[in-house]
Chains A and B, each alone.
Chain A
C-alpha cells in the first residue's frame, strides 16, 4: 500500500524527534488550507480520492441461506419428503435471491415435483423487496420455464408474505401466495402457521390444472430453536385441491386432499 506523501515525512520526523509536518498553528489546530486536499476528492469523506481506507464498510455484501422446511411426512397416501429453501446474496438494496421447493415419495428416491427460482430483488419499501426473474419446474409433467415477478416481505402484524406471478414459456399465467407467522410460545418454542395458495388463469391440461384456485397447503409447525440457526419441528400439513383441478385429480384417481403429520428441520446459515 503506497504511503501518502505527507505521512512518510511525519513518521520519519517523529522517529527523529523532530516536529511533525502536519500543519498546525500554535494553538494546536490544523491550518485551514489543509482541510481540502489538492486533486480529486472522495465525496463522502472529503479526503484524497486515492486513499484506500474507508471509515465504514456499509457497502459490504452479505449472504443468507435457509432451509425453511426439510421434512418427512406421513399420511394415508404414504410417506413423503419435502424441501423448501431460499437464500440471498447482496447489499442493502439489491440482492440476488433464490428459492427452491420440491417433494417426492420416500423410498424410490424420485422427485415428484420441484421448482427453482432465481430473481433479482430490489428493496422498494422498508419491509418489501420487488423481485423479477425466472422459475424452472421439473416433474411430473414436461419441464417448463417461467418468467416471474414477486413481492416479498413482512406485512403489518408480522406476516411474512411472498406473492408471486408467473408467465410460462407456453404463455400460461399463474400465481401463488404464501403467508407465515411466528407465534412465540417461549423465547425458543415457536408455533408457525403457514398458508399457501396457488391459482391459474386458464386451464393447463398438460399439467393437470384447471383455471381458478388450484390448490392450497396449510401447515402448523412447532419448532424449538436449539440455536437460532437450528430448529427441529413437528407439525401437520394439509393439502387440498379445488375446482377443475380437483375434478381432474378425481378422474385420474389421485387424492384431492391429504393430511400428513410432519417432522422436520429449519436451519439457516
Chain B
C-alpha cells in the first residue's frame, strides 16, 4: 500500500501546507525513518535511547495521522500516530537554545499538542479553547520558544481522547550546565495504557455503569474469607461502613486491564522492550507515565533505584526499591547493574490487574523472571477521610481500617490530621467529603503499605537547590477535588468546568494553592505553565512538581510563583475525569480584580 498511500498523503500535506503558507519541502522535513513507509508497526522501542550530542537549537516536525498500526499484540485500524509511531518520537532539546516544534495535522479532525511541564508563552501551550483554537484538519502550528529548563518531560494531544489512542511522546531537555548526575547510558521508559476500544465508548460505559471495567469487586467469596479471618462482628461492621457510604473498597482504577494492555515504550509485556548495559555501568532510566488512566508501581527486582529527579526537576538523590508513579508524572532513576544478567523492569498497574514490562540486559534476547502480580489493594477508611474513632472498630485499640491482617501497617502509617472539612458538601455532583484531612505525603502509595522493601514517598523528595522565591504567600486558593463515581461525575468544588469561572492568580505574587481530596481515590493534578513547590517539610528545598498525585482524604499545600502570564489549564490528568469537567483555567494576569479573587 505504501506508494499510493504515500503519494496521496503527500498531496494532502502539500495542499495543507499551501493553504497555510508553509512552503518548505515535504521530504526534507520528514525524518529519515518516516520516509521509509507507512509505518505499519513503529514504536518508540527502537529509539528510546537518549542520543544527546552538541547543544543546539532544534526544529522538529510532528506529523499527526490516523492510521492502522500493529500494537499491543493486535492491530489497531484507526490509531493516532506521531511520525508513524506510538508513542511518538523522542524529542530532545537543549536548555539555553531554541525549540521550534511544528505540528502538522494530517487528520480529518482537530488536534493539538501540549508540551507537558514546559515553560513557554501560553499561546504555545497547546490547550484548545484555552490557549489557542486548536489545529484544524490540514493546518500546522508552530511552537517556538527559548528553552529555559532541563529534565525529563513528555508531550501529548490535549484534544478529546486522542492521547488514549497514541498521541503521546517523550521529551528530554539536556542541561546547559554539566549534568551533576553521572551516567553511562540514558533511556526513556515511557508507560502507556492501550485500548482497542474507541475511547469515547470507554467513557460512555463508565457513565452508564461505573463498575464496568472492575472485575475485582468484593464477592461472597471475600465475605466467607473475611468472616473466617476476622469473625462475623468485624466483617459486618466493615460491610456496614462501606455499604452505608455506597462505596466500593476495591475501586482502585476506573479502567482496568479488562480493556487495557500496558505498554513500555510502545511494547506490550510479551514483546519485552529491552535496554542494554554493560555490567558496572550507570544507567539512567527516565520513567514517564504517559497513561490516560493508570498509575504504576515501578521496580527492578534485584536493583536499588536512585531517584535523581521528578517532573524534570533534580532532587537530592534518594535510594529506594520501588516507587508509585501517577499519571503524567516523571521520575528519573539511576541504576548500577553489576552482574552479567538480565533484570526485569516491572511496572505493575496500581490495581494489579496487569503490568507493563521490559528488560535491562547485557545482550538482546535475554529475560529475567517476571514477578507475580501482588494481591489487589483495598481502599481504607483513611482514604475516606474518616475520623480516628471511626477507624477503630470494636473494643480495644486494635485498628481495623480494613479486614486483611495487615491493616495495622496502614493505620500506623496514616498521616496526621491537619484540618476538618467545612459544612459545604459540594452538591449532588459530589458523593463524599474528607471529614478529616490528613497530611499523607509521608505515606507510601496505595497498595504499597506493607511491601517489605523501601518505597519512595513524597516527603523524601528534596529539591537539589534552595527555592529562589522565598516570599511568604500573599494569595491563597483552596480547591476541593470532588466527584461522584456512581454517575461518573468529576469536578472541582462540585462544579464542572463548563459551569466554572477562571481562577485568577495575581501576576507576580507568591500563591499558596491548597488542594483537598474529598473523593476516595488519588487524582493526578496538573498545572500548566508553572511549577508547584510541594510543601512537604523540606524547608527551602521543596520539590517542584508539574503534576501532583493527591491522595484520597488528604490535604496538600503548594507554593507557586505566579510569574508566567497566561491562561493555564489546571486539571486532573485522568483523561476521563478531565473530560467530565475536573478542569479549570488559572489565569495569571494583572487584571485589576485579580487580587480580589
A47, CB-defined interface residue at 8 Å: yes
Beyond contacts A46-B585, A47-B129, A64-B207: 9 other A-B pairs, Cβ-Cβ < 8 A, are A7-B132, A11-B20, A11-B139, A47-B131, A56-B581, A62-B208, A126-B430, A157-B244, A268-B208
Query: How distant is the Cα of A51 from the Cα of B136 in the complex, in angstroms?
Result: 12
Q: Is the CB of A92 within 8 A of B429?
A: yes
Chain A binding surface, main DSSP class: loop
CA distance A55 to B583 in the complex (A): 9
Interfacial chain B residues near A123, Cβ < 8 Å: 428-429, 487
**Is there a chain B Cβ closer than 8 Å to A10's Cβ?**
yes
A59 in contact with B590 (CB, 8 Å): no
Chain A residues, CB < 8 A from B127: 55
- 24 pairs of residues in contact across A and B, judged by CB atoms under 8 Å: A11-B20, A11-B21, A15-B20, A16-B21, A22-B123, A30-B565, A36-B591, A44-B499, A46-B585, A47-B567, A53-B129, A53-B133, A54-B129, A55-B128, A55-B129, A55-B583, A92-B489, A126-B428, A126-B431, A156-B244, A184-B219, A184-B220, A186-B220, A228-B205
* Segment with Cβ contacts to A, from B180-188, B209-217, B453-461, B532-540: B209-217
- List B contacts of A157 (CB < 8 A): 240, 243-244, 246
Check B220 against A29 for contact (C-beta < 8 Å).
no
Alpha-carbon gap, A180 to B566, bound state (A): 51
Residues of B within 8 A of A252 (CB): none
The residue of chain A having its C-beta at the shortest distance from the C-beta of B98 within the complex is A28
Decide if B65 is an interface residue (CB 8 Å cutoff).
no
**What is the CA–CA distance of A185 and B130 in the complex, to the nearest angstrom?**
48
- Please report the total number of B residues contacting A with Cβ < 8 Å: 87
**A7 to B121 alpha-carbon distance, docked (Å):** 14
* Closest CB in chain B relative to A140 CB, distance in Å: 35
Whether the pair A127, B431 counts as a contact (CB closer than 8 A) is yes
Question: What separation, in Å, do the CA atoms of A42 and B431 have in the docked complex?
Answer: 29
Measured in the bound complex, the distance between the Cα atoms of B478 and A20 in whole Å is 37
* A interface residue count range (under 10 / 10 to 19 / 20 to 34 / 35 or more): 35 or more
Q: Are B146 and A27 in contact (CB under 8 A)?
A: yes
The interface residues of chain B lying within 8 Å CB-to-CB of A31 are: 565
CB neighbours (8 Å) of A46 from chain B are 130, 502, 567, 585, 587
Contact B122 A30 (CB under 8 A): yes
Contact in complex: B497, A44 (CB < 8 Å) = yes
The docked-state distance in angstroms from the alpha carbon of A14 to that of B139 is 12
- Complex-state Cα separation, A186 to B208, whole angstroms: 21
Q: A28-B146, A45-B567, A58-B583 are in contact. Are A36 and B497 (CB under 8 A)?
A: no
- Chain B nearest CB from A17 CB (Å) reads 8
Given A11-B22, A28-B121, A58-B581: A53 touches B128 (CB 8 Å cut-off):
yes
Question: Chain A residues with Cβ under 8 A from B484's Cβ?
Answer: 126
Q: Once the chains are docked, how many angstroms separate the CA of A7 from the CA of B140?
A: 10
CB closest chain-B residue, reference A17: B24
Q: Are B145 and A14 closer than 8 Å at their CB atoms?
A: no
A110 within 8 A of B: no
Beta-carbon nearest neighbor of B159 in chain A:
A53
A107 at the interface (CB under 8 A from B): no
* Interfacial residues of chain B within 205-245, with CB under 8 A of chain A in the complex: 205, 207-209, 212, 215-221, 240, 243-245
Interface centre among A51, A188, A228 (most CB of B within 10 A): A228
List B contacts of A44 (CB < 8 A): 497-502, 585
Q: What chain A residues lie within 8 Å of B500 (beta carbons)?
A: 43-44
Within 8 A of A (CB), among B565-597: 565-567, 569, 571, 578-581, 583, 585, 587-591
- Most central of B102, B160, B221, B502 by chain A CB within 10 Å: B502
Chain B 279-292 per-residue mask, 1 if CB under 8 angstroms from chain A, else 0: 00000000000000
CA A125 to CA B57, docked complex, whole Å: 56
State the Cβ distance, A118 to closest chain B Cβ, in Å: 20
Q: In the complex the two chains form, is A20's CB within 8 Å of B144's CB?
A: yes
User: In the complex, A175 Cα to B463 Cα: how many Å?
Assistant: 65
Asked whether A45 lies within 8 Å of B22 as measured between CB atoms, the reply is no
